[in-house]
């Protein structure tokens, strides 16, 4: 999926990334109150469907994924235990819709998100005493390999993505908040979502194709960019996602105005 001379594209994009990273400070995720909150929100962080931006607790306005996180984190701070396995083991669509309600709208597909939460809550109760902290401890700080965090999360539907986008998102938040000390940093991967696919396509890092092909190629291409630029994959991921949402030409337009391929119906990984 990479173009005929991928090394040249990677070097060019890496130089741009190095320039952007010089003035970039990645988020610390201080607004996420607990590891359980992070685990359950990463599980349903996809295609929120919000049309408008909204203020939450006098802050914002927030939109899309940021709005979903602000609403749920505010609920957890106000009512500790809201986002735990014990509380979500029998969650239904109505409760999900209420939690994510902003004005007259709520997140798309509350039943689907409730199903993912029930599956994750049941698995966490069965396998790790219902605690995200126990899940993290079971990994021994490893991301990859048998028994690593990605493998431990993979049995749950929300985290079954072969490219482990949500697993790496959870790991990134957990590390920044001090809940996880990564023992194998070489295992970090960039999360290939729609924003990063668009950047990779328009800059010429990858060629157009089917959505799964482009996702895989995007992850591989940005791994090469991370190595070339010296910017760690989790930081690169944040930088590209934050800046790329507003500027699809952040890394260049060598390939023209290409959009990311349409996601498949029912897929909640990107």
The whole-angstrom separation of Cα 265 and Cα 262 is 9
Q: What is the pLDDT of residues 166-217, one digit of tens each?
A: 999 999 999 999 999 999 999 999 988 889 999 999 999 999 999 899 999 9
Q: Which CATH class is domain 1-28+185-270?
A: mainly alpha
What is the widest separation between alpha-carbon atoms in the chain? 54
- The values of phi and psi at residue 191, to 5°, are -85, 110
Q: What is the pLDDT of residues 58-82, one digit of tens each?
A: 999 999 999 999 999 999 999 999 9
Q: Are 232 and 143 in contact (CB under 8 A)?
A: no
Map out the domains of the chain as residue ranges.
1-28+185-270, 35-184
H or E stretch covering 64: helix 64-78
Helix (H, G, I), strand (E, B) or coil at 69: helix
If phi > 0 it is left, if psi is from -120 to 50 it is alpha, else beta; for residue 156 that is beta
Q: Which pLDDT band, with edges at 50, 70 and 90, does 6 fall under?
A: low
- The mean pLDDT of 53-60, rounded to a whole number, is 93
- The mean pLDDT of 130-153, rounded to a whole number, is 98
Q: How many other CB atoms are found less than 10 A from the CB of residue 101?
A: 14
Asked if pLDDT for residue 5 goes beyond 60, the answer is no
Q: How many other CB atoms are found less than 10 A from the CB of residue 56?
A: 18
Q: Are 45 and 65 in contact (CB under 8 A)?
A: yes
Place of tokens 């890092």: 205
Q: What is the pLDDT of residues 103-136, one digit of tens each?
A: 999 999 999 999 999 999 999 999 999 999 999 9
- The values of phi and psi at residue 60, to 5°, are 110, -155
Q: What is the pLDDT of residues 78-109, one digit of tens each?
A: 999 999 999 999 999 999 999 999 999 999 99
Helical H runs in 156-262? 165-176, 194-203, 211-229, 233-244
Per-residue pLDDT, 110: 98
């Amino acid at each position: 999926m990479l173009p005929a001379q991928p090394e040249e594209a990677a070097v060019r994009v890496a130089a741009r990334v190095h320039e952007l990273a010089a003035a970039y400070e990645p988020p610390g995720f201080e607004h996420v109150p607990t590891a359980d909150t992070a685990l359950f929100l990463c599980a349903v962080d996809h295609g929120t469907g919000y049309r408008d931006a909204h203020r939450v607790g006098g802050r914002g306005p927030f939109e899309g994924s940021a709005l979903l996180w602000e609403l749920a984190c505010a609920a957890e701070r106000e009512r500790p235990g809201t986002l735990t396995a014990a509380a979500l083991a029998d969650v239904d669509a109505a409760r999900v819709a209420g939690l994510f309600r902003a004005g007259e709208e709520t997140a798309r597909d509350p039943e689907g998100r409730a199903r993912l939460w029930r599956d994750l809550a049941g698995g966490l109760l069965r396998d790790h005493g219902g605690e995200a902290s126990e899940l993290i401890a079971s990994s021994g700080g490893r991301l990859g390999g048998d028994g690593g965090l990605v493998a431990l999360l993979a049995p749950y539907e929300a985290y079954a993505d072969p490219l482990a986008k949500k697993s790496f998102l959870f790991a990134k938040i957990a590390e920044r908040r001090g809940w996880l000390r990564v023992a194998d940093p070489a295992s970090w991967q960039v999360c290939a979502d729609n924003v990063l696919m668009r950047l990779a396509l328009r800059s010429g890092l990858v060629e157009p194709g089917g959505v799964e092909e482009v996702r895989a190629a995007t992850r591989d291409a940005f791994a090469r960019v991370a190595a070339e630029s010296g910017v760690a994959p989790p930081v690169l991921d944040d930088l590209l996602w934050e800046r790329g949402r507003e500027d699809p030409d952040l890394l260049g337009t060598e390939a023209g105005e290409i959009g990311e391929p349409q996601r498949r119906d029912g897929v909640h990984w990107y």
